[in-house]
Amino acid sequence: MLALEIKDLSVRFGEFWALEGVSLAVPEGAFVAIVGPNGAGKSTLLKAILGLVPFRGEVRVYGLPLRQVDPMWFGYVPQIKTFDRSFPALALELVLTGLRRSWPFRVSPKEREEALRALARVGAEGLAERPLGRLSGGQLQRVYLARALIRKPRILLLDEPATGVDRVGEVDLYRYLEDYQKASGATVFMITHDWEAAHHATHVLVMNRKVVGFGPPEKALTEACLRQAFGHVGHAHGLFVEGSRG
């Protein structure tokens, strides 16, 4: 069964085409690593899948047009966190915004239990009562991941989730994602600049406003695809090939 089917998806901002004619068919349970240079439209693609930007073309989720899909099917961890870190709020409250459409100024015992369970899933139950302004970058990423997972999403969309996370935390992050996917059968899309993400992926999407390569890592991460996407092998080759030696 296809979790996501995209046909001729294009997104335009003024005179600039962020995406042009993107088509994909992603099976249920896939783990898709999305790679490409800055400005390749990777974040825009995730936002189009979520219906956050207007687009041309078609997006179907489990066979349904996007407009008919329950938003709770999606879990999303954005790259840029827009909240005010001086806002006097707790990590547990941020997690609960994954269930509510407004800030939870009052938390019921049942909601608290759900939030603690989501935080425990990412090894962050000890952060529940921590003010957001006192969280490190890595801790904040875990809280945002818990916020996405509390929905028990069928499709999880992650925009560079390892940003601000040290090496140990990054390994833990991938383990949490794999554990959730195995337990739920969810489909995962993850934008990354880290070659090791390919090791955790069933599929890799190489893109630069268009689809350059898509498939298993050994087929998508070829020198030809990387050269076409990045304009040269250089940096990209080091990320995805040379880096794997160490």
Q: Note whether residue 204 is domain-resident.
A: yes
pTM over 0.75: yes
Residue 109, in any domain of the structure: no
Measured CA to CA, the distance from residue 16 to residue 9 in angstroms comes to: 15
- 99: in domain: no
Number of domains in the chain: 1
Whether residue 66 lies inside any domain: the answer is yes
**Any domain includes 108:** no
The answer to whether residue 107 is domain-embedded is no
In a domain, 92, yes or no: no
For residue range 165-212, list pLDDT tens digits in order. 777 778 888 888 889 999 999 999 999 987 777 767 999 999 999 999
Range of the domain at 215: 2-83+153-245
Cα 47–Cα 49–Cα 54 angle in degrees, nearest 5: 65
* CATH number where 56 lies: 3.40.50.300
Full pLDDT tens readout for the chain, 246 residues:
999 999 999 999 999 999 999 999 999 999 999 999 999 999 999 999 999 999 999 999 999 999 999 999 999 999 866 666 677 889 999 999 998 877 877 889 999 999 999 999 999 999 999 998 898 888 888 999 999 999 999 999 999 988 777 777 788 888 888 899 999 999 999 999 877 777 679 999 999 999 999 999 999 999 999 999 998 655 454 454 433 333
